[in-house]
Amino acid sequence: MKRSEHDPNESLELLLDTICNMFGTIIFVSLIAALLALTSTTGKTESSLASIDIERERQIAALASRAEELERELAKLPSAAATEVEPETEAVERVEAALGEIKRREELVERYSAAVESVTGNLESIGAQIEPLREEIERLESALDTARRTKDRTMRTPLERALELRLYTIVVWEDRLYPVCDWSNRTPDTCARFSQWDDRYAVASSCRLDGSCRGMNAKGFTRTIPLRPGAGIPITDVASLLRDPSFQRLLASLDPSEDMILLDVASDSFDSFSVAKEAFLGAGFNYTLSPCVAPLPVYKDNWIPGTPRGL
């Protein structure tokens, strides 16, 4: 049964409670969005924020509809002038308190919105850092795999054998590879190839070959090759070395069926030798090893008649 009389103060309280509940709901929903953004991953955060936005819009629409309904009911009530009812002091205080609470919660919503935007920006910056971390993980896994293979390999005496291959000298110094010659455009003259200096790693203008070369098995000469400190190909791990463009260019200039790698290793780079050896073996090359006793950066080697022997 519909009531015939209405208390204006009671209707006003109902409206204020509804408005306060509406802002309280908005603030609660915003707080949930901020907490979800702080504790979820990037994908979950975006999904949760979207769901919260939809729920917030639904709640706002419902509250707006309820507010319109209450306003229509309030319009039907007699005005204060018609009823000649003076507003009570207690009702005025409640209205002022409600307005103050609404303002406080609006400020709270603004702070939570700023926190949500900050968290979203941090998640985007984290996404940009993932790819370098993934590459670093791959490099470490490759290094670990190389170390594991070296550790678990059955020890045996290296089998040295005579090979009818042309020796290509690479100095391993300060954990870098220094190819002393450039055979990317090799001359048909076998002896002349020993003086095709690679100016990227050696000072070609100061390189010197003394003696005579009369064929693959009849050599008798000495080479003096000043190296360029710091210009060699860096040796870190097998995967990084194989990806290095300079190392790829070096492999492309050689032929495993014709060339054998001579690694002349300085005393400061014995740890790097195993990485370089693995890389060349993986590319299909035979190799031989020699300790470098020359006072680097000026490298010297001697060649005598004979057949190269490799491992």
d(CA 118, CA 27): 18
Residue 155's pLDDT is 41
The answer to whether the beta carbons of residues 209 and 195 sit under 8 Å apart is yes
221-269 per-position pLDDT tens digit: 899 999 999 999 999 889 899 999 999 999 999 999 889 999 999 988 8
The answer to whether the beta carbons of residues 296 and 225 sit under 8 Å apart is no
Top mean pLDDT of 53-57, 96-100, 181-185, 214-218 is at 181-185
Nearest to 276 by CA among 257, 250, 303, 301: 250
Please state the domain extents for the chain: 8-151, 164-310
Residue 158's pLDDT is 46
92-117 per-position pLDDT tens digit: 788 888 888 888 888 888 888 887 77
Residue 182's pLDDT is 94
Residue 227's pLDDT is 96
Nearest to 73 by CA among 128, 12, 129: 12
Residue of higher predicted confidence among 243 and 129 = 243
Q: In what order do the strands lie in the sheet with 298-303?
A: 208-213, 219-226, 298-303
Residue of higher predicted confidence among 112 and 130 = 112
Residue 181's pLDDT is 94
Say yes or no to pLDDT of 157 above 80: no
In angstroms, the Cα distances linking 84 to 69, 87, 272 are: 25, 10, 99
The answer to whether the beta carbons of residues 6 and 77 sit under 8 Å apart is yes
SS3 assignment, position 202 = strand
Largest pairwise CA distance in the chain: 128
Q: Where are the beta strands (DSSP E) in the chain?
A: 161-162, 166-173, 176-179, 208-213, 219-226, 233-234, 259-265, 287-291, 298-303, 309-310
Stated length of the chain: 311
SS3 assignment, position 183 = coil
Residue 92's pLDDT is 78
Top mean pLDDT of 1-10, 26-35, 132-141, 238-247 is at 238-247
- Dig out the tokens for 213 from the structure: 């070369």
Q: Which of 12-16, 160-164, 254-258, 296-300 bottoms out in mean pLDDT, i.e. has the lowest?
A: 160-164
d(CA 12, CA 20): 12
CA 246 from chain centre, in angstroms, equals 23
